[in-house]
């Protein structure tokens, strides 16, 4: 019998990372081309905000899916793509926010603050963005080392940020709630898997 060579894990990881880069940058390329060719509809800024908002959510949920997938499949190397996914979520939310603040509101700080305070869906979205800032800043190896155990605690904020992002989506769409509900269920399922595995892992015995 001919023995098939084992798939090279490094090569597999490289392919996966390349795919994430392509998917992560794809929407920006698509929007830029569409913008200059005039194919983004009557209000291109609305298309930019919508597309970038949706990709933010996709990358946020993908980031949160890494640990549950790792626990279920035992594929430990998958952890290597978590940071990349998280940074793409942050990148897309920044474009989403800048399109809103810069093109839609022309950086009129007063109007933006008024929106953040008065429109509940903007309040939720803005809070989600604010929570993502410390997560992106502390995603480097240096910060992981410096914060130690506190890093994990801090990065649990990703669940809160994603919940606010989903709420923002739900409040924004008003009538057609199908996709916000799909996002909410996905988030709940990821959280449930995480909790289930946490209960299974015995706590370390603390020696006095
Ligand atoms: C984690 C953070 C965020 C996520 C996941 C997110 C996600 C989304 C999604 C999915 C949509 C599309 C709704 C639809 O299909 O109709 C959307 C729309 C929108 N978002 Fe966000 N968003 C976030 C943060 C923000 C922030 C910080 C702002 C501004 C302060 C913002 C402003 C808007 C606006 C104005 C729209 C509506 C665009 C329009 O109808 O033309 N979002 N967001």
DSSP for 22-77? HHHHHHHHHHHHHHHHT-S-S-HHHHHHHHHHHHHHHHHHHHHHHHHHHHHH--GG
Q: Is residue 207 part of a domain?
A: no
Q: Is residue 2 part of a domain?
A: no
CA separation (Å) from 119 to 53, 103, 154, 190?
Answer: 17, 19, 28, 29
Q: Report d(CA 30, CA 41) in Å as an integer.
A: 13
Q: Is residue 200 part of a domain?
A: no
55 in contact with ligand 1, CB cutoff 6 A: no
Q: What is the pLDDT of residues 48-86, one digit of tens each?
A: 999 999 999 999 999 999 999 999 999 999 999 999 999
Q: Is residue 198 part of a domain?
A: no
119 in contact with ligand 1, CB cutoff 6 A: no
pLDDT recorded at residue 53:
98
Q: What is the pLDDT of residues 81-94, one digit of tens each?
A: 999 999 999 999 99
Q: Give 115 Cα–ligand 1 centroid separation in angstroms.
A: 13
Q: Give 71 Cα–ligand 1 centroid separation in angstroms.
A: 31
Query: Where in the sequence is the domain holding 111, given as residue range(s)?
Result: 10-182
Q: Is residue 66 part of a domain?
A: yes
Share of the chain above pLDDT 90, in %: 88
57 in contact with ligand 1, CB cutoff 6 A: yes
For ligand 1, what atom is nearest to the CA of residue 180? 10
Q: Are 40 and 48 in contact (CB under 8 A)?
A: yes
Q: Is residue 151 part of a domain?
A: yes
Q: Is residue 167 part of a domain?
A: yes
83 in contact with ligand 1, CB cutoff 6 A: no
Tell me what the mean pLDDT of segment 163-174 comes to. 96
pLDDT recorded at residue 207:
40
DSSP letter (8 states) at residue 139 = T
Q: Is residue 16 part of a domain?
A: yes
Q: Give 111 Cα–ligand 1 centroid separation in angstroms.
A: 16
97 in contact with ligand 1, CB cutoff 6 A: yes
Q: How confident is the model at residue 206 (pLDDT cuts 50, 70, 90)?
A: very low
Nearest residue to 67 via CA among 58, 79, 55? 79
Structurally, the chain folds into a number of domains equal to 1
């Amino acid at each position: 019998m001919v023995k098939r060579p084992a798939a090279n894990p490094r090569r597999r990881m490289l392919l996966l990372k390349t795919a994430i880069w392509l998917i992560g940058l794809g929407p920006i390329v698509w929007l830029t081309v569409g913008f200059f060719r005039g194919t983004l509809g009557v209000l291109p800024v609305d298309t930019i905000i919508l597309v970038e908002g949706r990709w933010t959510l996709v990358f946020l949920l993908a980031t949160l899916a890494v640990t549950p997938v790792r626990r279920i499949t035992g594929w430990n190397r998958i952890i290597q793509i978590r940071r990349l996914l998280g940074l793409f979520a942050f990148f897309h939310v920044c474009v989403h926010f800048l399109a809103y603040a810069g093109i839609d509101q022309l950086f009129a700080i007063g109007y933006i603050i008024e929106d953040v305070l008065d429109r509940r869906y903007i309040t939720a979205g803005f809070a989600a963005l604010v929570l993502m800032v410390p997560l992106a800043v502390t995603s480097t190896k240096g910060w992981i080392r410096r914060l130690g155990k506190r890093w994990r605690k801090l990065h649990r904020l990703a669940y809160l940020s994603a919940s606010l992002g989903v709420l923002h989506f739900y409040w924004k769409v008003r009538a057609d709630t199908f996709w916000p509900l799909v996002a909410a269920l996905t988030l709940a399922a990821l959280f449930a898997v995480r909790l289930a595995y946490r209960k299974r892992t015995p706590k370390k015995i603390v020696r006095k």
